[in-house]
Structure 1
Amino acid sequence: MLLGYARVSTQDQHLEPQLDALKADGVDVERIYTDKATGANSDRPGLVAVLKALREGDTLVVVKLDRLARSMKHLIELGEAIQARGAALRVLDAGIDTGTPVGRLTFHIIGALAEFELALIRERTQAGLRAARERGRRGGRKKKLDGKTLDLARALWSNPEFTVDDIAEQVKVSRRTLFRELGARPVQAPSS
């Protein structure tokens, strides 16, 4: 029996392309398990469920290796757990099927290369961030409210005559930005 597993890292990403690929490979939609979680997140109920559902002779199908494991160590652990159940792993984009000796070898080589590539990306990113800090650059998005605009927003914020929408329009930011930058709006005591 074929079982499928699909994962996206954020709520903004969509599972449909992976689901379509799994269905095209012959996985019944009822046997596809999913998660919406980062690869580093160990709390993935869909992965736990698909591993529990695997029986001898079954094949777990994933679109890409990075959808399955958080690291090379985790990938090898999953590969061993799948093999211990007498099941196989098929990775569609890499053409890997651990039901064969060549597939098992390829699985380990591809996994090692994927982890190596991730380590290089992390290393380059850290070096770039260090170099930028040394040049006095600060990371992150530029603040929408700063300087005179922030002073104006604070002044308007403390005046109950102006609505939140009025202030947002005046300083050209969203309501959400106002609340994030200025916090809760001061409550004025009722005049007697």
Structure 2
Amino acid sequence: MAVIGYARVSTFEQTLDLQHDALRSEGASPIYEDKASGKTTDRPELAHCLKALREGDTLVVWRLDRLGRNLQDLIHIVNALEERGVKVRSVKESIDTGGPAGKLVFHLFAALAEFERGLVRERTLAGLEAARARGRKGGRPTLLDTKQQRAALAMMNNREMSVAEISRHFNVSRSTLYNMQTASRLLSTPIESGINSR
């Protein structure tokens, strides 16, 4: 049962020393590290770290925001690890999913994230309905056809290629891909259903 650490700073000017000291004090070895913005999906060392974890292991981070790009991403990662029998421990927040209190915190996080998604979806649908009532269609013209959108979303979910590589492949911006992914999740479009049914 290994204790493995993961550290991340947002820019190359920042130092990882503080996080390293905290993770070592928790007995973490090895420690994987990325120097990248939390908003980017390109975190190669995190991918290596997650692959290295085995059932019974513990992943230690300095703070929870080092692990997830946002609350939903954090919950997705922690739940995926929990299904594999891997515990997550945060030094600064004193959260350990190996205990009942830590699991309760993450269940609350998940409930809040689901509530937020519901509010966003409700506002989005209300806005689209209001626009339709005024004779307008919401959104920009579609840059990719349905088949291309399915392929792009599948590649993003697969994570074997970076978002930058996918955007170059389809000759669209990264924001277009992220917006397409968000719309697919929020509105439960046929694109998303096509991916999930495979």
Please indicate the TM-score interval, normalised by the length of the shorter structure. 0.5 to 0.7
- Residue equivalent to 1:4: 5
What percent of counterpart residues are identical? 50
In 1, Cα distance between equivalents of 2:19 and 2:106: 19
In 2, Cα distance between equivalents of 1:6 and 1:22: 8
Give the number of the structure whose alpha-carbon radius of gyration is greater: 1
Could you tell me which amino acid in structure 2 is paired with residue 54 of structure 1? L
- Residue equivalent to 1:13: 14
Q: Which runs of 4+ in 1 moved over 3 A?
A: 107-113
TM-score by length of 2: 0.53
In 1, Cα distance between equivalents of 2:33 and 2:72: 21
Kindly report the root-mean-square deviation, in angstroms, between the aligned alpha carbons of the 2 structures. Answer: 1.8
Aligned-pair distance for 1:109? 4.1
Aligned-pair distance for 1:105? 1.5
Matches within 5 A, 1:2-151: 2-28=3-29, 31-109=30-108
Q: Which consecutive residues of structure 1, in runs of 5 or more, have no partner in the other structure?
A: 117-192
Question: Conserved in 2, the CA contact under 8 Å of 1:6 and 1:62?
Answer: yes
Bigger share in helix: 2
Aligned-pair distance for 1:79? 0.8
Question: Conserved in 2, the CA contact under 8 Å of 1:96 and 1:107?
Answer: no
Aligned-pair distance for 1:107? 3.3
Q: Which consecutive residues of structure 2, in runs of 5 or more, have no partner in the other structure?
A: 117-198
Could you tell me which amino acid in structure 1 is paired with residue 64 of structure 2? L
